[in-house]
Chain A
């Protein structure tokens, strides 16, 4: 009985009795574990301690947690608030380091829970709609679920077979959340180990979220030529009714799009969105390359801006990254708000059980500012019909105009130049200076603020004159906004096995200099063009650039002098110089999945239940580095931490120092830069790279050489090392003004030297570092502390060594 996972049986002696078993919790896992499914690593279905000693503490020994508290105090329980400054212990006994380890860990499990809950919602919804047997058709791949497989050991092939992985993630999340309670875990290093574990689960939750929608909703399937999608506030046709969707969960939106198609409305109204729902609605039914009609407005930083523009006739929200003030802001412009997911209900009345006609009348009259509709069929019909009907009403009542020129002047003149907005602005925009010039009639300084402004409204909160500063900036930027039109490639989904086979050797040898993954939110330091500059620089140098989410959107907003976006200029495949948009935030699982596939497919490593070995391989051999330049959300912390446990370093923008934790190695401590040679278990020295797993950069110009350096790996062959050093040294010189001081630490022999500067660099090695050079043969005789051995097998895991 307990071996049954699903099925039905009848009891013959009792007539008319039939018992149907849909699922026994735990039985699927048990059956999967018992099944002979080939080689299996040591950690299938891992628990809180499974990765701790074997891998996490190894990582954390080299990449030490750097604690930067947000607050001196702990305000967690009624013993406190306790002053923990100078690493003091509080009333419960926890110290500052432990408390901040908990604070960061809490962010990570929050992010993991968001993706896992998103995955659960989609899994249940799609199984209910399409059945359990929908095959996981994700493109030309045999390895369909790399993150699930290395975590659980399973290789599900249908929607139904994903249930054990989903259950495992949920079970471990409960265990992890329990450790946050007062009087539980208090060690900082163990919170970091738990955060890493949670990060790995996050990529399972994300993987489930994306593959179920790819399989069931016919999204592009590992498609390098997924269609181009219009992006930007300027793409919206103001003359058409406009339905604006915000959030991360596309389930409800598909019903709206179906209703539009069934009623021949796709060219008669606009449907566009912000954040990941927007990315995913442009993927819906796109596997057959139907011309997309859905548009993307942009990231979360545009939420308040698009509402204040007055353009949306109806707003639908689902979950995650949705502002808390959408209802009051929308109400000012008579825009009804529909909450379509139980995770955000805004205190609105539920109209699931009411007739659609009656609800439309209620909303049109303004009797209610919005409502909750969780019934997807009703949601599809109501939102489309309501948008059609609200459009002429709002137009007639003049709600479609942003403030007049006179109103703008009036607001600007009210400014008392107190400077409070500058102090409050998270981006430190010099709003007082721009207002000063605006008073003199020069609005260009205000216009300059538009791109950097994250639309948070903190300036308005502190303005004693109650000037709607965000609206002032947006009005002054009207022309700029109208021109905000770009192209983004619709999310292509996974990297196929064929692409991995074709590119794996180049990556492992280092001849493709690296994978640069640009992900995450819009809380940038200097404006959204930062990520465009970074992507362009690496694409020009033949790195593989993989993008997702808000970063993917912002990269598509800018054009070169010929009017082309990067998506139009570079191919969408996993290849040297390729620009892949994998999809929405949950598609980040495909980026880690690609690195895992290099180990599993290219290097034939066992993937099943074998996280540490796969991660060790990536850290040693696969030059990948993430960039979350505007990381803002808790999900960004879990995505990044998931990359870290898998051996992928990440550079974050300066705001992310507020996550309170980084993972940085001591480059000067030689004891940290040793690995084992798996052939015989002997220790071998390695260069100090990558020198961090998680850190922040101050400017995009600093981030570029940091990322190029982070792609250097101990196993690079000489040609690969030479190519990687060439790029890093050139980029360092280009952006930081001079040759890096520590380049020589990466040289094992003369073949490692960048080709174009070999003779010059040999002279430096001799003169500055005392290395012996045979000038006739142009060979290094002595000097390097690290040796190159083509057959060496560097590993951080002693158990993988033959002599172990």
Chain B
């Protein structure tokens, strides 16, 4: 098993609250327990090794995908429920209980994030952390301070292995 709880050094924002470092099995458990989860993927997910795993996660956990940046083309022929939305806009809408969501069925209680520049997702999640009750789980290779739970700073290869373990546990 890959230990994804190591190396939680911060290079983005600062403060007293930091996300809980978690392993893939715990991440899978949290995702499975969520009532209205949303899988938020950034443009970095277009790397083939990540894209393949992102599709598997979405299918296995039956997660709708918010494809931010220019990531949507990666999901159009993959038989998943993916919609484009700008990340900053999404972060804001997540803080509004009245947001009807991407499917008009209401706001979400959890976002799972993958494929972002760490400074960008961390900054957007600082809004949801401070102004909403939405939980955020980061499963990328960077430790994201403003998520609720996050993998630590790990190598690309360890990230791929961790995602494989997460898929197994979903």
CB of A666 within 8 Å of the partner chain: yes
Given A669-B98, A736-B84, A738-B76: A423 touches B42 (CB 8 Å cut-off): no
Provide the bound-state CA to CA distance between A70 and B122, in Å.
9
* Docked-complex contact B88 and A695, CB < 8 angstroms: yes
How far does the Cβ of A298 sit from chain B's closest Cβ, in whole Å?
Answer: 23
List of A residues within 8 angstroms of B160 by Cβ: none
Given A654-B119, A662-B92: A698 touches B42 (CB 8 Å cut-off): yes
* Docked-complex contact A695 and B120, CB < 8 angstroms: no
Provide the bound-state CA to CA distance between A525 and B119, in Å.
11
Q: Which of B75-106 contact A (CB under 8 A)?
A: 76, 83-84, 86-89, 91-93, 96, 98-100
List of A residues within 8 angstroms of B29 by Cβ: none
Given A72-B17, A668-B99: A737 touches B73 (CB 8 Å cut-off): yes
Most buried by A among B43, B126, B153: B126
Given A419-B155, A702-B70, A706-B86: A654 touches B117 (CB 8 Å cut-off): yes
Tell me which of B86, B96, B127 contacts A666 (CB under 8 A): B96
List of B residues within 8 angstroms of A695 by Cβ: 86, 88-89
* Docked-complex contact A70 and B123, CB < 8 angstroms: yes
CB of B15 within 8 Å of the partner chain: yes
CB of A172 within 8 Å of the partner chain: no
CB nearest to B120 among chain A residues:
A654
CB of A66 within 8 Å of the partner chain: yes
List of B residues within 8 angstroms of A70 by Cβ: 13-14, 123, 126
Provide the bound-state CA to CA distance between A568 and B19, in Å.
51
* Docked-complex contact B70 and A701, CB < 8 angstroms: yes
Most buried by A among B68, B69, B119: B69
CB of A697 within 8 Å of the partner chain: yes
CB of B72 within 8 Å of the partner chain: yes
CB nearest to A661 among chain B residues:
B127
CB of A735 within 8 Å of the partner chain: yes
Q: Mark A689-733, 1 if CB is under 8 A from B, else 0.
A: 001100111110110001000000000000000000000000000
CB nearest to A85 among chain B residues:
B17
Tell me which of B100, B118, B130 contacts A87 (CB under 8 A): B130
* Docked-complex contact B89 and A525, CB < 8 angstroms: no
Q: Mark A61-89, 1 if CB is under 8 A from B, else 0.
A: 00010111111110000000001111100
List of A residues within 8 angstroms of B6 by Cβ: none
Q: Mark A631-665, 1 if CB is under 8 A from B, else 0.
A: 00000000000000000000000110110101010
Q: Mark B101-131, 1 if CB is under 8 A from A, else 0.
A: 0000000000000001111100110110111
* Docked-complex contact A67 and B127, CB < 8 angstroms: yes
List of B residues within 8 angstroms of A96 by Cβ: 130
List of B residues within 8 angstroms of A424 by Cβ: 11
* Docked-complex contact A699 and B86, CB < 8 angstroms: no
CB nearest to A651 among chain B residues:
B86
List of A residues within 8 angstroms of B142 by Cβ: 423
Interface size for A (C-beta < 8 A) is 48
Provide the bound-state CA to CA distance between A403 and B15, in Å.
41
CB of B1 within 8 Å of the partner chain: no
Provide the bound-state CA to CA distance between A435 and B60, in Å.
38
* Docked-complex contact A83 and B131, CB < 8 angstroms: no
Given A68-B124, A701-B70: A696 touches B88 (CB 8 Å cut-off): yes
List of B residues within 8 angstroms of A90 by Cβ: none
List of B residues within 8 angstroms of A737 by Cβ: 72-73, 76, 84
Q: Chain B contact residues (Cβ within 8 angstroms of A): what range?
A: 35 or more
A contact patch SS: mixed
List of A residues within 8 angstroms of B36 by Cβ: none
How far does the Cβ of B94 sit from chain A's closest Cβ, in whole Å?
Answer: 11
List of B residues within 8 angstroms of A426 by Cβ: 119
Given A664-B89, A701-B70: A85 touches B120 (CB 8 Å cut-off): no
List of B residues within 8 angstroms of A698 by Cβ: 42-43, 68-70, 86-87, 116-117, 120
* Docked-complex contact B123 and A657, CB < 8 angstroms: yes
* Docked-complex contact A71 and B14, CB < 8 angstroms: yes
Provide the bound-state CA to CA distance between A375 and B26, in Å.
67
Provide the bound-state CA to CA distance between A778 and B47, in Å.
45
CB of A377 within 8 Å of the partner chain: no
Q: Mark A730-753, 1 if CB is under 8 A from B, else 0.
A: 000001111011000000000000
CB nearest to B143 among chain A residues:
A423
How far does the Cβ of A70 sit from chain B's closest Cβ, in whole Å?
Answer: 5
* Docked-complex contact B84 and A692, CB < 8 angstroms: no
How far does the Cβ of A740 sit from chain B's closest Cβ, in whole Å?
Answer: 8
Q: Which of A40-75 contact B (CB under 8 A)?
A: 64, 66-73
CB of A428 within 8 Å of the partner chain: yes
How far does the Cβ of A158 sit from chain B's closest Cβ, in whole Å?
Answer: 45
* Docked-complex contact A72 and B16, CB < 8 angstroms: yes
Q: Mark A202-245, 1 if CB is under 8 A from B, else 0.
A: 00000000000000000000000000000000000000000000
Provide the bound-state CA to CA distance between A64 and B91, in Å.
13
Provide the bound-state CA to CA distance between A635 and B7, in Å.
36
CB nearest to B75 among chain A residues:
A737
Most buried by B among A96, A654, A699: A654
* Docked-complex contact B119 and A658, CB < 8 angstroms: yes
Provide the bound-state CA to CA distance between A221 and B139, in Å.
55
CB nearest to B73 among chain A residues:
A737
Provide the bound-state CA to CA distance between A31 and B29, in Å.
73
* Docked-complex contact A66 and B91, CB < 8 angstroms: yes
List of B residues within 8 angstroms of A97 by Cβ: 131
CB nearest to A653 among chain B residues:
B120
Provide the bound-state CA to CA distance between A662 and B86, in Å.
13
* Docked-complex contact B131 and A67, CB < 8 angstroms: yes
Provide the bound-state CA to CA distance between A760 and B129, in Å.
43
* Docked-complex contact B70 and A736, CB < 8 angstroms: yes
* Docked-complex contact A699 and B130, CB < 8 angstroms: no
Tell me which of A67, A69, A423 contacts B153 (CB under 8 A): A423
* Docked-complex contact B89 and A692, CB < 8 angstroms: yes
* Docked-complex contact A67 and B98, CB < 8 angstroms: no
List of A residues within 8 angstroms of B93 by Cβ: 666, 668
Q: Mark A523-550, 1 if CB is under 8 A from B, else 0.
A: 0010000000000000000000000000
Provide the bound-state CA to CA distance between A735 and B74, in Å.
11
List of A residues within 8 angstroms of B9 by Cβ: 423
Provide the bound-state CA to CA distance between A72 and B130, in Å.
8
* Docked-complex contact B83 and A66, CB < 8 angstroms: no
* Docked-complex contact A69 and B69, CB < 8 angstroms: no
**Residue contacts A-B, CB under 8 angstroms, 30 given:** A66-B91, A66-B127, A68-B124, A69-B15, A70-B14, A70-B123, A70-B126, A71-B13, A72-B16, A72-B130, A73-B14, A85-B16, A654-B120, A655-B120, A657-B88, A658-B119, A662-B88, A664-B88, A664-B89, A666-B96, A666-B99, A692-B89, A695-B86, A695-B89, A696-B120, A699-B43, A702-B43, A702-B70, A738-B84, A741-B84
- Inter-chain pairs besides A97-B131, A695-B86, A696-B88, 14 sampled, C-beta below 8 Å: A66-B91, A68-B123, A69-B15, A70-B126, A72-B16, A86-B129, A86-B130, A428-B117, A654-B119, A657-B120, A698-B68, A702-B68, A735-B70, A736-B84
Q: Which 9 interchain pairs have the tightest Cβ spacing?
A: A72-B15, A698-B69, A737-B73, A657-B123, A701-B70, A654-B120, A68-B127, A66-B92, A71-B14
